[in-house]
Chains A and B, each alone.
Chain A
Amino acid sequence: MTLAVAQLAAVVATALFIFSLHWMNDPNTARRGVVAGVTGMSIAVAATWIQPEIVHHGWIVAAIVAGFIVGVPLSLVPLTAVPQRTALSHSFGGLAAGLVGTAEYFLGLGENPAQLTAFRMSAIVAEVILGFLTFTGSLMAAGKLQEIKWIPQRPVTYPGQNVVNIGVLVIAVALGVLVVVHPTAAWSGQVFYAIVGLAVLFGVLLIIPIGGADMPTVISILNSYAGLSAVAMGFVLNNKLLVTAGALDGSSGLILSIIMCRAMNRSFTNVLFGAFGTVQKTAALGEQKAWKQETVEGAAQLLEQASHVVVIPGYGMAVAQAQHKVRELYDQLTKRGVTVKFAIHPVAGRMPGHMNVLLAEADIPYTALVEMEEINPEMPQCDVALVIGANDVVNPAARYAKGSPIYGMPIIDADKAKTVLAIKRSKNPGFAGIDNELYVQDNTWMLFGDAKTVVGDLVKQFGSGGLH
């Protein structure tokens, strides 16, 4: 009877999860998706908990309470920290899978060796390798995003790195095959620990050479791994709901990874083994053109006389916490009949879609946020392109400079606008560590300073009546 309840609950939960993702196709229905997800989850948990084999309820209650104690504060982090939180949750997902896989193996070994069939052992090994590499890999990624001191931000590379990394993974898989063939030999337990250790090590090694502009892609790939480890757990526990939910997560990570890779014109293997973001030493080419600086008054005048303004925000805007000032500028300009749009590059920010969330938090209507492919054909008609804290995503070198690490990456055509205003904190190069010739173009005017201060000063120009 309770088994039938569990089966029915799993079917209902699966359907709710699919609806949950389906409703994410429109910001209007998206919150319904959360309700569906929570409902599905509650049903599945309740149906599992009432099974007669569950006898130690205290432990479950304690773990759930602890989950709430840690989970609630984690959901209240500032939106700039959402990428770290996401990486951390991939890491928790990986850990859970790895631990359950370990528990299932030793349970089988100790109590019921007949259970450790070749198929089940393969699933356990896959679950443990994927789980633990996602655990440490995501922890590393979270650390890099949080800019923890002892985790280097910039990619760390050394000769033979790829050979070492792939070697570690190959040994782990080879040992995995060994325990699949001999699951109950006297030494199998030790080999199993070795697999866990190698997977933990591989996760760290995998992320060390990756950094900077590749973080959105890395987060997406780790998302996929976290999903796949849940799938493997489903195989181990013979649970179709787990397989389905894990597959949904895995395919979401896969699609986002592909989109992120395309947005940077790079392949998976290139991201994982290419060590992007190392500072180019050959960058000093030809004559250095001079910047042209503009005053805040002049810039405000340019904006006011424009009829079509495109704002191109980058992560620098979020770091300076300038979104709310940008919103005020948006209000002032739209009030004066200026059409203002925001051009969003797919990799703007530090995870897929990050920039949209940061702007939405500042109450900028999502109808004003335009994707790169849609805005680019309009750029020649744009009177003023206002670049705020963006750099590599507007660098024209991506179109032709073959030696540049960003060569081939699709960019927002800021340079095609009639006038470009660029707010920049300092004269240093961006995340990818390369110069940007947009800033020395004939129609570009620079505003140096902290994005929040500069945009705030621009807003004051409109507010103070300095301009009628």
Chain B
Amino acid sequence: MIDGLMAVQTAPAEPAGDYWSMLFVFVLATFIGLGVIRRVSRLLYTPLMSLTNAISAIAVVGSIVVAGADYPRAIRIIGAVALFASMTNIVSGFLITDRMLKMFKKQ
């Protein structure tokens, strides 16, 4: 039982070095984010927020693993609820962003 689970774990006790590279990615991504967001048109701050909402709902990939892997039922229920929450954000976030952007016309 335990052995089977070990095989499906996504993160089997990684070496500490992995965490440092994650931190590295985080810092770089933040700087890229600051640089890109600073250039976003001020007209579009509202759609920007719904777009970044939808993008950060990429958390859905975590929920898919928790809901779909061979874990105890209680864990998978939690995962399914999280998956539902993320999916709602993806669907409504992208749709409403597009709906708003369609309204911006030059003349």
Residues of A within 8 A of B (CB): 13, 17-18, 20-22, 24-28, 30-31, 33-34, 37-38, 40-41, 44-45, 48-49, 51, 53-57, 59-60, 62-64, 66-68, 70-72, 74-77, 79, 82, 85-86, 89-90, 92-93, 95-97, 99-100, 102-104, 106-107, 110-112, 114-115, 117, 119-120, 219-220, 223, 226-227, 230-231, 233-256, 259, 346, 351-354, 356-357, 360-361, 363, 365-367, 369, 371
Contact = CB atoms under 8 A, between A and B. Distances in A.
Contact of A251 (B33, B47, B91): B33
Most A CB within 10 A of own CB, among B32, B36, B38, B56: B56
A342 to B, nearest CB: 11
B83 A60 contact: yes
Most A CB within 10 A of own CB, among B10, B38, B83, B84: B84
Contacts of B106: 27-28, 365-367
A96 B57 contact: yes
A86 B49 contact: yes
Interface of B: 2, 5-14, 16, 18-19, 22, 25-26, 29-30, 32-34, 36-72, 74-76, 78-107
A77 B92 CA distance: 10
B43 A231 contact: no
Given A95-B81, A106-B74, A115-B11, 12 more contacts: A25-B41, A59-B76, A63-B67, A67-B91, A74-B88, A96-B62, A107-B72, A236-B62, A237-B65, A250-B33, A255-B34, A356-B45
A75 B51 contact: no
A67 B14 contact: no
Majority-rule SS of B interface residues: helix
A272 B49 CA distance: 20
A97 B29 CA distance: 19
Nearest to A365: B107
A75 B96 contact: yes
A115 B105 contact: no
B92 A223 contact: no
A103 B5 contact: no
Contacts of B56: 93, 226-227, 230, 245-246, 248-250
A111 B82 CA distance: 21
22 contacts: A21-B36, A27-B101, A27-B104, A49-B64, A53-B69, A63-B81, A67-B90, A79-B100, A85-B50, A99-B79, A99-B81, A102-B78, A119-B19, A219-B49, A234-B22, A247-B26, A247-B33, A249-B55, A255-B37, A352-B49, A356-B44, A365-B106
Top 4 closest pairs, chain A to chain B, by CB? A67-B87, A353-B45, A71-B91, A251-B33
Contacts of B2: 111-112
Most A CB within 10 A of own CB, among B6, B13, B34, B46: B46
Contact of A238 (B11, B37, B38): B11
A49 B69 CA distance: 10
A249 B52 CA distance: 5
B93 A64 contact: no
A234 B81 CA distance: 18
Contacts of B38: 255
A119 B65 CA distance: 21
Given A38-B94, A251-B30, A53 B65 contact: yes
A54 B64 contact: yes
Given A104-B66, A106-B75, A120-B11, A24 B47 contact: yes
A366 B22 CA distance: 41
